[in-house]
Amino acid sequence: MRLRSIRLLTTVSHSMRWSQAFIPTLREAPADAEAVSHKLLVRGGFIRQLAAGSYSLLPLGQRVRLKVGQIIREEIDAIGGQELMLPTLHPAEIWRKSNRYELMGDNLFKLEDRRGGELVLGMTEEEIFAMLAGELSSYRDLPQIWYQMHIKFRDESRPKSGLLRMREFTMKDSYTLDIDRAGLDSGFDKHYGAYKRIFARIGVDAVDVLASSGAMGGSESREFVVRSRAGEDWIVTCATCDYRANVEKATSALDEIEDGGPADLERFPTPGLRTIAALAEAHPDVAAPDRQIKTLVYFADDEPVLALLRGDHDLQEQKLMDAAGAVEGRPAQADEIRELMGADPGSLGAVGVDEIRVIADLALMGRRNLTTGANQDDWHFSGVDPERDMTVGIWTDLREVASGERCVEDGGSLERWKGIEVGHIFKLGTNYSEAFGVYVQDEAGKSHPIVMGSYGIGLERGMAAVVEANNDENGIVWPVSVAPYELLITVIRPDDEATMAVANRLYDDFDSAGVETLLDDRDERPGVKFADAELIGIPYRVTVGPKGVASGSVEVTERDGLVRSDLAVDMVVASLAERISAARFGI
């Protein structure tokens, strides 16, 4: 009897009457809301802000989140994933062991318990999964795919845009465990395919791009991005081939520059010339922008570094952090620059600098007859050969790609656009297994560190991306696969007995047919009901009113495009149930 009761509760839980629901819609968006998803999710009664970067998911929002999570769960289960649930509260010592306690900087929430024990709130869980993997001992135990869907914390410096940048959020993080790199490649490819299916099913056109691995580490990563003006990532794509990369990883082809023969290093006065443009105008013979060396002073995890670029190129900061092996970086302040270099910005250079690490952009390699600051105010050097005159510790790509530059693959024109990161997959390698002593024996009895991959999707960020990609001037346009309800029955004149009888019958019949139905039985004006319907974005709406009931018909409205048609009352359930069922999988 108890089992029957539970099953009944499960059966009736997918439909609801609006008069009994908590759906607090608003006519106006919050004054500080900029992203479309932020505005519409608040106005539609899906979310409410508790504090900066912290949001309550109201019933409609929770239904969407659960559906997004279920789609993710189905696809990760399909590639062999096993779901776990790990703590979010971690001893700080675990993060110190992986060298990420300090590396994560202020992004990591740190606290003490009543006994003085140091703890952190996990923003990711590579360490904990690696510790669990210590119970594996043989190649026969591998491969493994483990995952969880859990709350994470990140002390964002600028939480904003509603669900797009939060301090507390739900993350699906999965991990592959393999004996070798070939196994890692296989697990990576499985996740790549699963992610493509997940994003197609939830209703976003996500493209995968080359990306920086940042603090996660590892040899390779790909980011899944949805084009949106609300995005914070800049993406570079080629108009004529498949090249695509986050600007933090993107590069482009440069034309060769003829520098002439070698020249002697020569110091010359440049009074009052403190910018690339001013120096080029005053000394066009030796200091055209593409013949100047721009010297930038940065702190990378508190270590001073010099970044060298061509005068007409801009620094991509994440590339510098990756080259320096740092998580956080910042430009040095004016007083710090003078203390380190002996001069002010505009007169800086790396000639003769040996005590500060120098990282130079590849566009300077092989160049000569260049001009750079002499580390004395109002003086510069000409005839500079970076490889001859400077102690460069690392040569790497540091510059930020601009729109219109040439693709390195086929020479096509590159475009820059903004996007929302909705997923990221990493080839971690053995960093974490070595840190935690996680080894397994191969067939010959030789020990190997387990090779790991890490794969993340943010659920709330995914919800916001769906809204960014699916909306119009009236509100949200949910795909059936993640809509809070699949069908809305809007009753005109709920005080009319015949109209309400038809609406109740349709509500019961749709519910019995397995269609998640919201019945708007509120005593409100039709205009209010229609505005709310379009705002919350239920995919299909059936309008029941006295005139239609008298003629035996109802009006059906598809939210996408607001396409309207009339259907006989006796046919509407079968017709829409079939359409909804076909769209439910989302592909």
E-only strand ranges, 19-80: 47-51, 54-57
pLDDT for the residue 208: 95
The pLDDT tens digits for 257-308 are: 989 888 999 999 999 999 999 999 999 999 999 999 999 999 998 899 999 9
pLDDT for the residue 5: 34
Q: Is residue 6 pLDDT above 50, yes or no?
A: no
- The answer to whether 134 and 434 are in contact (CB under 8 A) is no
The pLDDT tens digits for 178-233 are: 999 999 999 999 999 999 999 999 999 999 999 987 655 566 899 999 999 999 89
Domain 475-583 CATH class label: alpha beta
Please provide the average confidence, as pLDDT, over all residues in the chain: 93
Q: Which two tokens stand for residue 39?
A: 């505005």
Model confidence, pTM: 0.89
- The answer to whether 529 and 536 are in contact (CB under 8 A) is no
Sorted by where each begins, the domain ranges of the chain are 59-249+417-468, 266-396, 475-583
Q: Is residue 486 pLDDT above 80, yes or no?
A: yes
Question: C-alpha dihedral over 34, 40, 42, 43, to 10 degrees?
Answer: 120
The pLDDT tens digits for 93-130 are: 999 999 999 888 889 999 999 999 999 999 999 999 99
pLDDT for the residue 12: 33
What gap in Å lies between CA 215 and CA 273, rounded to an integer? 39
What gap in Å lies between CA 417 and CA 469, rounded to an integer? 15
End-to-end Cα distance, the chain: 39
pLDDT for the residue 102: 86
Secondary structure of the chain: what % helix, strand, coil (to 5)?
35, 30, 35
Q: Report residue 412: phi and psi, to 5°.
A: -70, 170
- The answer to whether 425 and 188 are in contact (CB under 8 A) is yes
CA distances 101 to 127, 182, 357, 377, Å, are: 11, 30, 24, 40
Average pLDDT over residues 339-357: 96
Q: Which two tokens stand for residue 321?
A: 């952090």
CATH superfamily for domain 266-396: YbaK/aminoacyl-tRNA synthetase-associated domain (3.90.960.10)
Nearest residue to 168 (alpha-carbon basis) of 57, 76, 71, 93 = 57
pLDDT for the residue 3: 35
Q: Residue 408: helix, strand or coil by DSSP?
A: coil
Whether CATH 3.40.1390.30 fits 59-249+417-468: no
Q: Which two tokens stand for residue 125?
A: 């869980």
Neighbours of 28 (CB within 10 A): 9
- The answer to whether 69 and 459 are in contact (CB under 8 A) is yes
Cβ partners under 8 Å of residue 9, min gap 6: none
Q: What is the DSSP letter of 450?
A: P
Confidence of residue 497 (pLDDT cuts 50, 70, 90): very high
Neighbours of 98 (CB within 10 A): 18
Confidence of residue 532 (pLDDT cuts 50, 70, 90): very high
Q: Which helix (H) or strand (E) holds 461?
A: helix 459-469
Average pLDDT over residues 336-365: 96
Amino acid at 131: M
Report helix angle 59-78 to 459-469, nearest 10.
Answer: 110
Peptide bond into 143 cis (omega under 30): yes
What gap in Å lies between CA 68 and CA 203, rounded to an integer? 10
Q: Is residue 490 pLDDT above 80, yes or no?
A: yes
pLDDT for the residue 309: 98
Q: Residue 54: helix, strand or coil by DSSP?
A: strand
For every residue of 229-273, DSSP letters joined together read TT--EEEEEESSSS-EEETTT---B-------S----EEEE-TT-
The pLDDT tens digits for 155-174 are: 988 888 999 999 999 999 99
% of the chain at pLDDT higher than 70 = 96
- CB half-sphere exposure, 286, CA atoms < 13 A: 20
- The answer to whether 190 and 143 are in contact (CB under 8 A) is no
